[in-house]
Amino acid sequence: MRPAPAVLSLLLLLAASPAVPAQEAAEPAPPTQPQDAPAPADPAQAADAPVPAADDPDAADPSGSRIPLAEIQRYVAVYRAIKEAYVDPVDDRFLMQSAIEGLLMDLDPHSAYLDKAESDSFDEQTTGAYEGIGVELQQQQDRTLKVVAPIDGTPAARAGVLAGDVIVAIDGKPIAQVEGSEPLRGPAGSKVTITILREGRERPFDIEIQRETIRVTSVRSRMLEPGYGYVRLSTFQADTGADFRKHLDELQAKAGGRLRGLVLDLRSNPGGLLTAAVQVADELLDSGAIVSTRGRVPASDTRFDATAGDRLGGAPVVVLVDAGSASAAEVLAGALRDNGRARVVGSRTFGKGSVQTLLPLGNGDSVKLTTARYYTPSGRSIQASGIVPDVELQPDPKLTGSDAPATVAGTVSEAALPGHLRGDEEEDEGYRAGSPLPGDAPIAAALAELKRLAATAAVPGPRRD
């Protein structure tokens, strides 16, 4: 496995990376989800740059680096008005913090200002150890929390929380009245009650969950049938690539040295480290592009290519996805399909095709800023459109608790987030968001497709003498 380029040394989130930073980190996010990639030029340096002399402060600047003096004067006027005339005294730090957060709020759902505590918890996504309920969240403009994905084996998953659920209250308090950025965190053993809105149910309902120490295991595996292996990737962490290789070798040994096929389960995987997804793809590809990123600054333009050596020796692969599969999970699914290495089974994925860079500030806080879009090997951006499976599956109403027809399943997608980046294929005719696909039935469907592929691969071609 070749190492990641040095230029990609800073952490970037490519996960359904949530604006609620690592609140309940993936086993994702947001949303969200950190990535290895370059940071753009220090914004603090740009802020200290002198304002060029000009008769017209609003004159066009083709470089885009000029400080907008007229807009700064407008801000100062509003700032002074608040300080002098607002009904109650307002602290300077509060006003400045609100202004900084406002700079990022309307850019897109994944850019955010993180204070030191939020930055520290954000970093936990790469290690996967914290106390909470175990769910990846995306904060919406009304402050409600949309579930990108529950994390396998955590209290949230066991309690029946699903991708697409919207948390509207915590311990009986509406989200708007809940103080602090991490209301679902708490000591292991303590309990929290969340009030949920779910597509297809008329009224909100409560779920009581006991918090635990969440120690994320990102890779699990087992044999489905003799010769057919199953690997579950619940998130992409620093050790996911190495763990995937280990599990794959163990499955090969159980199969007598070579698997006949593999089901790769990425359902409700909200993303994580891009380099981990690249490492997994490289284990299954012998050549070809894996993913590229493109942004406004040259440092954001990167490309990952596979190195020689397919660990499965060409045995067929089926990738299982659903509406909770986001970011780095979509990178992996897109790389394998575009290279003709796998079939994708499930429902349309989340559609998070943007890259976030974590920019540390001098006071310990950070700015999480969207800096690039990523593209599959075919050159396609899946931002706000997701990956449409080759074989589409429908959710089991008994498991989702929804009485709504599957065809209106919903709003579990990047395209449903207010202020999201527009996607190239977002308005294509027939667009419909995917659905979460819990349970074992999707695994059985993926195995059936895998057997079909294995049987086709086993049929010898015409002989040529």
From the candidates 338, 347, 385, 435, which is the catalytic residue? 338
Give the SS3 label for residue 227: coil
Angle (CA) 447-336-251 rounded to 5° is 50
Active site residue 352: yes
Q: Has 378 been annotated as catalytic?
A: no
Q: Is 262 helix (H, G, I), strand (E, B) or coil?
A: strand
The catalytic residue among 17, 119, 221, 327 is 327
Task: Name the residue among 148, 125, 115 with its Cα closest to residue 34.
Answer: 125
9 classed as catalytic? no
Cα–Cα distance for residue pair 143/133, rounded to 1 Å = 19
Q: Are 166 and 7 in contact (CB under 8 A)?
A: no
Q: How far apart are CA 432 and CA 426, in angstroms?
A: 10
The backbone torsions φ and ψ at residue 83, rounded to the nearest 5 degrees and listed phi first, read: -60, -35
Strands 391-392 and 205-210, bridge-based pairing: unpaired
Residue 164 vs residues 99, 297, 332, 394, 411: alpha-carbon distances, Å: 31, 34, 22, 15, 7
Which is catalytic among the residues 146, 352, 368, 451?
352
What is the 8-class DSSP label of residue 416? G
Q: Are strands 228-233 and 261-265 parallel, antiparallel or unpaired?
A: parallel
Q: How far is CA 220 from the centre of its chain?
A: 20
| Start-to-end CA span in the chain (Å) | 38
201: exposed, middle or buried (C-beta count within 10 Å: 0-12, 13-18, 19+)?
middle
Q: Are 170 and 195 in contact (CB under 8 A)?
A: yes
Q: Are 18 and 30 a contacting pair, CB within 8 Å? A: yes
As a whole number of angstroms, the distance between CA 136 and CA 134 comes to 7
> CB within 8 A of 172, min separation 6: which ones?
193, 195
C-alpha closest to that of 342 among 350, 351, 352, 332: 332
Q: Which residues are catalytic?
A: 327, 338, 352
